[in-house]
Structure 1
Amino acid sequence: MKNGSVCFRDMLSLLVFVLSGAWVLAAAAPVDLTQTTPAKTKNSYNLGPTGALGWMYVEAGMTVKAHQILITVVEKGSPAEGKLDVGDVILGAFGKPFAQDARKSFGWAIGRAETEEAKGILPLSVWRKGKTQTVDLKLQIMGTYSDTSPYNCPKARKILEQGCARIAKDIKKENRFPINELALMASGNPAYMGLVRESARALAAGVPETEKLWEASSHNGKHTWGFGYRNVFLTEYYLATGDKTVLPAIRAYTACIARGQGRYGTWGHGLFGPGRDGKLHGPVPPYGPVNQAGLPCFVSLVLARKCGIKDPELEPAIARANKFFGYYAGKGAIPYGEHRPGICHDDNGKTSIAAMAFALQGRRAETQFFSKMVTASYESREWGHCGNGFSYVWGPIAANCGGPKAIAAFMKELRWYHDLARRWDGAFVYIGTGGGVASSYRSVFNSTGSYMLGYAVPLKKLHITGRDANQDNWLSDADVAEAIAAERWLGDNAHANRTAEQLLAGLSSWSPLDRAWSARELGKRQDNVLPRLLPMLGSNKATDRLGAVTALGQLKARAIPALDAIAGLLDDEDRWVRVQAAEALRNIGAQARPVLHQMLRATAVKDETDPMEFRTGALAYALFYPGGSYGPRGILAGSLEGVDKGLLYPAIRAVAANPDSHARGCLRSTYALISLDDAKALAPEFLASVKEMAPANTMFSKGVRLAGIQAMARLRVEEGIPLALMMVNLRDWGRNYITMVSLNVLKEYRGAARSALPELKKLEAQWRAEKRADFLKKLAEVVAAIENDNNPPELISLKDYLGKDKGGQ
């Protein structure tokens, strides 16, 4: 489901830029809609239960600066019909102009209008054809949200009833993942169980037995997405009803999901069978893991266990997922794939789904951290990779994993948004980041069903809505207060507007977002905070050490006096402090060279507690990264001269064997610099890093492998020829680039690559069948270079160096 657009990391950076007050002065001012009509209004917003849609000024995906709303649609039969016209401009509500974000203000006005006190009247200040007038819209009286909403809240109950009634009219509408059925079950209304039963049995009847389903789903496609959500539905249905007719389908889905899991506990877009070694659970090919797809699978496996499903792959799969996703507890948000933790509270619901998976198992530490992160994420739920559709399925029910007070605080902050997303007929709409209205998220699941789950948690009919919840997992009042405070970063609360003392306090926050933004802001200023940061490095609280070392990395050259102290944290007892110390040295860059020996030693040490070995990965960037979109050049990216090879070689070996292809890719610079003697000393790892794909983050595995064969061609290493042939026809992510580079490598060998001609002839026939004119043109050049070379270069083999004693080097 990746759409190739701006990823969340870049969105977040832009959001930080805008909301911190750093937006450039040249940014366009909001349009005065009484004077100018925008050329395009497709990204209009739903205006709640009024029956109107409105366009607002958007900057960086946000409506913070919008003070007016242009009416673009008025629906027939709605409260707005006959009251509002297309082209009207709404200037305010309840007699006051919009002084801040018009969208939020309108959402809060809806909530006020729907109370008994306001009698359903929404008075709007409307500009129409040069004149301003008051227009009263008559909305349905829904009542007032209680302080504990959705618990003990008549308004929330009414929203649930109306939404489910809409779903029941067409349960299959835009509902490929059966969220609608889950919502109807969660409502507790027995009148809907006939519809749910019909859907469950029809779905189960269409699922082949395990081996047939495995054969059909383990080769290609994007089966992970549907399997996870369908299994969640069927398992919840069975647990609610005891209907054994669906058990065979649950067994089949569960077995296939468990078999198709990757080595580290993740899943890709699709399931995959045994690797070349004939074993399951290898690297996730060819794109790599997609946690948005895999996490619902994780939840479904836990629910399948509750159903009593027995399968030899089930418990190991849950254990692998627990280890991988549990790693992020205390560190940050669940990332896109096998990456470092996200510096945010949630990203399109991934942290939310993790909270649910751990809550269903009663794992207290993970549940509390992730549910606290979700509770804190209210201000950023519109942001996420590929939009925010999953965010509103899982966010409220995941906050509920932290207890009634957590979801009440979370939902209170989002009342304005939910009231805007609700239509006048009781349905809900999907609203994309920056506007745009649809009745579903990409037809994957219906938006009404998505929202209903959150309103249904007081009924506790499903495990994902709180049935049999363990109260020991619930957040304390102090935790809830801290969570809400952590995302108060708009306006006067923006980090750019905070004092140095406030920023220093933020470095000790429980929130990774607050720590990171506080550190960034301190890095932008010239305050002499070094004397305050150094003592924090020795604190017995890991959050103090994390915040301080992160801030030191942002100080860059000003942190040089602290280099030895930072390097000392590379061996800290807390594994995330170790990683952040490496990140700090990476941020300091070339000026961290005085502690180069400490960095090399730490790089060579395998961290048995960290399956992804993120410390080695961060040090790989600090030492070897060629420079580019992921940061500055590493200290040794330009030259290896003068470096103690007794320290250098073990570090290179560790990076070459790192699980993460991104980390291995840093050796692109190194392989371009090594001598033949270096290649001999490093032969086993050097060759293996090309021959074997990195097991994690496989999308980026080509970097080190291509750099390796290029180095072999430069050094006239014989093994480069068969490895280049292997790479030529490798159908991994980025195939076109891989093929072209590999062909160029073979061309560089000239006549010495004559042994490759039979295989190249086979490729010629294959590519003709595939109509790959680009490959064929390059292939002709390579064949000519080989056949016409009468003086081929002399090659050397590394096979004699594969078993050499490394002797510390």
Structure 2
Amino acid sequence: MATGDRSFIPGLKRLALEASEGQSIVGSWGHKFAGEDGRLVGYGMMNAPGLTLTNSLILAQKAGVNDPKVRIAIERSTRLLRFYIGKGAIPYGDHQPWYQTHEDNGKCGMAAVLFHLNNEPEGARFFSRMSLASHGSERDTGHTGNFFNILWSLPGVALSGPHASGAWMREFGSWYFDLARTHEGTFVHQGPPNTRHDKYANWDCTGAYLLAYAHPLKKLYITGKSKPLIPQLDHHQAAETIADGRGWSNKYRNEAYDKIGEKDLLKLLSRWSPIVRERAAMALGRRGVSPNKEFIEMLSSNNLETRYGASQALAHTKTPSPEAVNALRKNLDHEDLWLRIESAEALAKIGEPAMSALP
């Protein structure tokens, strides 16, 4: 495009149409393209190729591909993916939001780029922040290896600004990238600590690392060519978000939160991060804490995240909390779908005392 040569457009349009026509009727893709009936072939939906293909379709539009099939495919996919905004990392497929870590095989980074390209600040902001909070053991893992977690790290993080990029590099990226560099200047795939299921051994990953290092140049759409769409975090905000990602490893998943006091865990139930809220809720549940008065007050908070957190905590309590039934019932009528779902899960945990909530 920089040369003005447009001879690539027919080929690009052909590929974009193949991808669009291979989408399922609900906006997803799988291991293969969908069949003629619009249903996925194989065992179902995969968000990793779906995000990548949607990014490619948006970029194809920017390159000059103008076709209604492409527009419809983008609209279907983004409508499906918007569901996960504010709820967790984008999961493997047609599953509930991923709560275990802030990133899942690079899909939050992919989503941050996607929503930024599609001029949707809410999604870009949330998933960029999720990317920033994923570092250390969270980042150094992944289904079939950590390749995609590393590849899509800075493309997602950098959207939140230079303080975000700097904080993430200081916490994890700078030393990890240095260890991946060979004496020849190329970069190799290091793999996660446990390499048993790693599928990317011996890959030359130079391109992936150069993509990260190219962000200051801002020459490509995926490296910040367009103007910032979302608020750029300051130093304090970036440091806070980095802190949200600490305290978890594959081997020691609970120990850090089990050391946090009850009052501080209750505060964490109101954090922006669904992962922090879930970890705090689980920690309260493990120690058998049921501060019902506080939970009930939180269920009527003006802050939606606080209501989420209280519902999550009630779903993890070891003993039923019938005192919370009325407050949870009220939230079943809330306009926010996810709060209604979280409230229903908490009521299900309470069991028999919550039967009055049934219509």
Q: Please name the residue that 2:329 is paired with.
A: 567
- Deviation per CA, 1:152-205: give whole Å up to 9, x if none: xxxxxxxxxxxxxxxxxxxxxxxxxxxxxxxxxxxxxxxxxxxxxxxxxxxxxx
Contact 2:109 2:127 in 1 (8 A): yes
Alignment equivalent of 1:392, drawn from 150, 166, 180 = 150
Letter of the aligned partner of 1:423 in structure 2?
T
What is the percentage of aligned positions where both structures have the same residue? 39
Conservation of the 8 A alpha-carbon contact between 1:563 and 1:592: no
Structure 1 CA distance for aligned equivalents of residues 127 and 117 of structure 2: 13
CA deviations on 1:97-124 (whole Å, 9 max, x unpaired) are xxxxxxxxxxxxxxxxxxxxxxxxxxxx
Aligned partners of 1:417 and 1:264: how far apart in 2?
39
The CA deviation string for residues 365-420 of structure 1, in whole angstroms up to 9 with x for no partner, is 11110000000001211122221111111111111122222112112111222222
1:477 deviates by 4.5
CA distance in 1 between partners of 2:28 and 2:51 (Å): 8
Q: 1:569 to 1:349 in 2, by over 3 A?
A: same
2:65 aligns with 309
The amino acid of 2:119's aligned partner reads: G
d(CA) in 2 for partners of 1:394, 1:334: 13
Contact 1:259/1:273 (<8 A) preserved: no
Q: Are positions 1:370 and 2:123 aligned together?
A: no
User: In the alignment, what sits opposite 2:116?
Assistant: 359
1:566 offset after TM fit, Å?
Answer: 2.1
2:224 counterpart of 1:462: no
Q: Deviations over 1:201-226 (max 9, x none)?
A: xxxxxxxxxxxxxxxxxxxxxxxxxx
Report the RMSD for the aligned CA atoms in angstroms.
2.3
Instruction: Note closer, same or farther for the CA distance 1:366–1:529 as it changes in structure 2 (3 Å cut).
Output: same
1:473 and 1:314, CA in 2 relative to 1: closer, same or farther beyond 3 A?
farther
Alpha carbons 2:269, 2:281 under 8 Å: kept = yes
Is the 8 Å Cα contact of residues 387 and 433 (structure 1) preserved in structure 2? yes
For the 8 Å contact 1:457–1:465, the answer to whether it is kept is yes
Note closer, same or farther for the CA distance 1:558–1:596 as it changes in structure 2 (3 Å cut): closer
| Aligned partner of 1:418 among 163, 177, 184 | 177
State whether structure 2 residue 87 is matched by structure 1 residue 296: no
- Partners of 1:311 and 1:528 lie apart in 2 by 56
Partners of 1:396 and 1:454 within 8 A in 2: yes
Give me the whole-angstrom Cα distance separating, in 1, the residues matched to 2:330 and 2:93.
Answer: 30
Rate the CA distance shift 1:565–1:309 in 2: closer, same or farther, 3 A.
Answer: same
Q: Aligned residue for 1:783? A: none
SS across alignment from 2:272: coil
- Rounded Cα–Cα distance in structure 2 between residues aligned with 1:558 and 1:294: 40
- Counterpart CA distance in 1 for 2:233 and 2:28 is 28
| SS across alignment from 1:313 | helix
Summarize the Cα distance change of 1:585–1:475 in structure 2 as closer, same or farther, 3 Å threshold: same
> Relative to 1, partners in 2 of residues 1:261 and 1:597: Cα closer, same or farther, differing over 3 Å?
farther
Matches within 5 A, 1:80-159: none
Query: Contact conserved, 2:299 with 2:311, CA < 8 A, in 1?
Result: yes
Matches within 5 A, 1:572-591: 572-586=334-348, 588=349, 591=350
Corresponding residue for residue 348 of structure 1: 105
1:530–1:559 Cα contact (<8 Å) kept: yes
Partner of 1:60: none
Aligned with 2:319: secondary structure?
Answer: helix
Offset at residue 456 of structure 1 (A):
0.7
Matched, 1:549 2:322: no
CA distance in 2, matches of 1:493, 1:597: 37
**Which stretch of structure 1 is more off in the superposition, 423-432 or 347-356?**
423-432
Distance in structure 2 (CA, Å) of the matches to 1:420 and 1:294: 31
Q: 1:473 to 1:321 in 2, by over 3 A?
A: farther
Q: Distance in 1 between matches of 2:66 and 2:201?
A: 35
Inter-partner Cα distance in structure 2 for 1:554 and 1:596? 18
Residues 367 and 473 in structure 1, CA contact (< 8 A), matched pair in contact too: no
Gaps in structure 1 of 5+ consecutive residues: 1-237, 276-281, 602-809
Q: Distance in 2 between matches of 1:432 and 1:320?
A: 34
**Which of 236, 239, 248 is 2:10 aligned to?**
248
Instruction: Decide whether the 8 Å contact of 2:133 with 2:242 is kept in 1.
Output: yes
Give yes or no for contact 1:463–1:469 (8 Å, CA) kept in 2: no
> Of 22, 40, 47, which residue of structure 2 is paired with 1:260?
22
Aligned to 1:598: 357
Preserved CA contact (<8 Å) 2:300 2:327: no
Residues 1:328 and 2:84 are matched in the alignment = yes
Question: The residue matched to 1:446 in structure 2 has which SS?
Answer: coil
TM-score (norm 2): 0.91
Residue 441 of structure 1: SS of its match in structure 2?
Answer: coil
CA distance in 1, matches of 2:312, 2:194: 35
CA contact (8 A) 1:359 1:473 kept: no
Closer, same or farther in 2 for the Cα pair 1:553/1:472, shift >3 Å? closer
* CA distance in structure 2 between the aligned counterparts of 1:567 and 1:560, rounded to whole angstroms: 11
Kindly indicate whether residue 280 of structure 2 is the aligned counterpart of residue 518 of structure 1.
Answer: yes
- Structure 1: how far apart are the matches of 2:288 and 2:48? 40
> Alpha-carbon deviations, 1:632-681, whole Å to 9, x = none?
xxxxxxxxxxxxxxxxxxxxxxxxxxxxxxxxxxxxxxxxxxxxxxxxxx
Q: How many residues align structurally?
A: 351
1:531 aligns to 2:293 (yes or no): yes
The Cα of 1:465 is off from its aligned counterpart by 0.8
Matches within 5 A, 1:45-84: none
Aligned-partner Cα distance in 2 for 1:274–1:528: 52
Amino acid in structure 1 at the alignment position of 2:342: Q
Offset of residue 272 of structure 1: 2.4
Q: Secondary structure at the match of 2:141?
A: coil
Is the 8 Å Cα contact of residues 29 and 50 (structure 2) preserved in structure 1? yes
CA distance in 2, matches of 1:241, 1:405: 34
Give the aligned residue type for 2:306.
D
- Counterpart residue identity of residue 371, structure 1: S
1:362–1:470 contact (8 Å) kept in structure 2 = no
Distance 1:581 1:462 in 2: 43
CA deviation digits over 1:299-321, x for unaligned, max 9?
00110111121112111111111
> Hey, what's the Cα distance between the residues in 1 that align with 2:225 and 2:155?
11
Closer, same or farther: CA 318–471 of 1 in aligned 2, 3 Å: closer
Deviation at 1:352, TM superposition (A): 0.7
How many Å apart are 1:322 and its aligned residue? 1.3
2-side partners of 1:410 and 1:297: how far apart? Answer: 27
Q: Deviations over 1:763-807 (max 9, x none)?
A: xxxxxxxxxxxxxxxxxxxxxxxxxxxxxxxxxxxxxxxxxxxxx
Deviations 1:28-62 (A, max 9, x none): xxxxxxxxxxxxxxxxxxxxxxxxxxxxxxxxxxx
Report the alpha carbon displacement of residue 242 of structure 1 after superposing the two structures with TM: 3.1
- Separation (CA, whole Å) in 1 of partners of 2:354 and 2:259: 35
SS in 2 for 1:323: helix
Distance 1:474 1:259, change over 3 A: farther
Q: Determine which structure has the larger strand proportion and give its number.
A: 1
8 Å contact from structure 2 (residues 190, 201) kept in 1:
no
Cα distance, 1:476 vs. partner? 4.7
